[in-house]
Structure 1
Amino acid sequence: MTEAIIAVEHVSKRVQDSSGELTILHDIDFSLAAQESAAIVGASGSGKSTLLAIIAGLDTPSEGTVRLAGIDLFGLDEDARAAVRAERVGFVFQSFQLMGNLTALENVMLPLELQGRGDARAAATEMLVRVGLGERLGHYPKLLSGGEQQRVALARAFVVKPALLLADEPTGSLDFATGEKVMELMFELNREQGTTLVLVTHDRAIAARCDRQVRIEAGQLTSS
């Protein structure tokens, strides 16, 4: 049996609000093999983005844990979790999350430089050419269209060749045609690099392209 690259083990998340304790996630338990793709689906407010943040180690569960390639993320302190993310995880967000004061090339170089890579400029240039932005290397995000900004975000995520790519509504800010092109590119890059992909989406067509669908309803896992 293929070893799980991600194992979500009985994860629950509770928070306090003015009315008392609110359960956002309850006993979520599933695993994904290397190179598998999964869509986390469910209604707004069902806990999808919270689950993705916990898988990334950006939010902490009230109970349970997440193992990334066998590493217990919540057995580590915040600095160690950040180091694991930097080495093994790529992110793509609905709002792109590009650094506005950096060019497209500098945005893609950033995670490589944080790793101390001496070939950051060459590797970032190659990846931007791969996503069709070879003529936009020196452009700042404000000079790029939404689709171009998301392609820069894809280049930044994949340039480190992550074991795991996490995407939160990656086409949510794009029109349909542009979103289709971005998703096709994401799946192409995912196949090329053999990355495990976990994405949150409301789009049934995008979810259907994944190997599995992890459905969350009112904070509970109903299918995986």
Structure 2
Amino acid sequence: MLESILAVSKVCKSVEDASGTLAILRDVDFTLQAGQTVAIVGASGSGKSTLLAILAGLDRPSSGQVRLAGQDLFGLDEDQRAAVRAAHVGFVFQSFQLMPNLTALENVMLPLELAGRADARTQATAMLQRVGLGERLKHLPKVLSGGEQQRVALARAFVVKPALLLADEPTGSLDHATGEAIMDLMFQLNQEQGTTLVLVTHDRALASRCERCLTIQAGQLSEER
């Protein structure tokens, strides 16, 4: 039996606004096994990114439980959740989220350095070579194309060999051809490392590349068969 890496139980998220209480997520339940790939799809504003933030422990649910790598995320304090994220989770964002004053190499080295890895430079260099940026190590993000910046972001996410990769609209800022190349690379790296991938997207063609597809509608999650 495969190990469960992520278990979500009866997660609800509500916020207060001028008109009263707005329910963003309602009783979300699902479990992911190690190495699975899952897409979360839904219309803009359906709660996809909110759910992703909760899965990472970056946002708190109003109720419910998230267990990541066997730990109850919201039974931990903020520092403990940060430690769990550092140990188990990688992120890829639509807007790349690179540090603008760091070179490509320094951006990829950063999570390794934070983890106290003495081989940070060697590992980061190898990963940038793996994503086709061996000649761009010393370049700042501002002189890289969008596709190159997202390759740096992929290298940064995968260099720590995360158990879980959370990707939020990773091709949203890229043209179609570049986006296709980035997703090919993401799935290759994911398969090489055996990472569990959670991909938030509005792109049904992209979602179909995942083993499972979960849809959010009116705050409720359903699985397409």
User: Counterpart in 1 of 2:78?
Assistant: 78
User: Counterpart in 2 of 1:175?
Assistant: 175
SS in 1 for 2:40: strand
User: Residue type matched to 1:18 in 2?
Assistant: A
CA distance in 1, matches of 2:91, 2:2: 24
CA distance in 1, matches of 2:222, 2:36: 19
Cα displacement string for residues 122-152 of structure 1 (whole angstroms, at most 9, x for unaligned residues): 0000000000000000000000000000000
User: Counterpart in 2 of 1:133?
Assistant: 133
Say whether residues 1:202 and 2:202 are aligned partners. Answer: yes
Cα displacement string for residues 90-144 of structure 1 (whole angstroms, at most 9, x for unaligned residues): 0000000000000000000000000000000000000000000000000000000
Which runs of no fewer than 5 residues in structure 1 stay unpaired?
none
Q: Answer whether contact 1:45 1:218 (CA < 8 A) is retained.
A: no
TM-score by length of 2: 0.98
CA distance in 1, matches of 2:19, 2:123: 51
Aligned residues: 224
CA distance in 2, matches of 1:56, 1:191: 21
Which runs of no fewer than 5 residues in structure 2 stay unpaired?
none
Say whether residues 1:104 and 2:104 are aligned partners. Answer: yes
Q: Answer whether contact 1:13 1:23 (CA < 8 A) is retained.
A: yes
Runs in 1 of length 4+ with deviation above 6 angstroms? none
Cα displacement string for residues 64-99 of structure 1 (whole angstroms, at most 9, x for unaligned residues): 011011110000000000000011100000000000
SS in 2 for 1:67: strand
User: Residue type matched to 1:207 in 2?
Assistant: A
CA distance in 2, matches of 1:207, 1:162: 21
SS in 2 for 1:202: coil
CA distance in 1, matches of 2:211, 2:223: 13
User: Counterpart in 1 of 2:124?
Assistant: 124
Task: Calculate percent identity across the aligned residue pairs.
Answer: 76
Q: Answer whether contact 2:57 2:74 (CA < 8 A) is retained.
A: yes
User: Counterpart in 1 of 2:27?
Assistant: 27
CA distance in 1, matches of 2:29, 2:97: 29
Q: Answer whether contact 1:5 1:69 (CA < 8 A) is retained.
A: yes
Equivalence map 1:1-224=2 (5 Å): 1-223=1-223
User: Residue type matched to 2:206 in 1?
Assistant: I
CA distance in 2, matches of 1:80, 1:152: 27
Q: Answer whether contact 2:167 2:198 (CA < 8 A) is retained.
A: yes
CA distance in 1, matches of 2:212, 2:54: 19
User: Residue type matched to 2:207 in 1?
Assistant: A
SS in 1 for 2:166: strand
The structural deviation recorded for 1:2 is 1.9
CA distance in 1, matches of 2:177, 2:141: 20
CA distance in 2, matches of 1:91, 1:132: 19
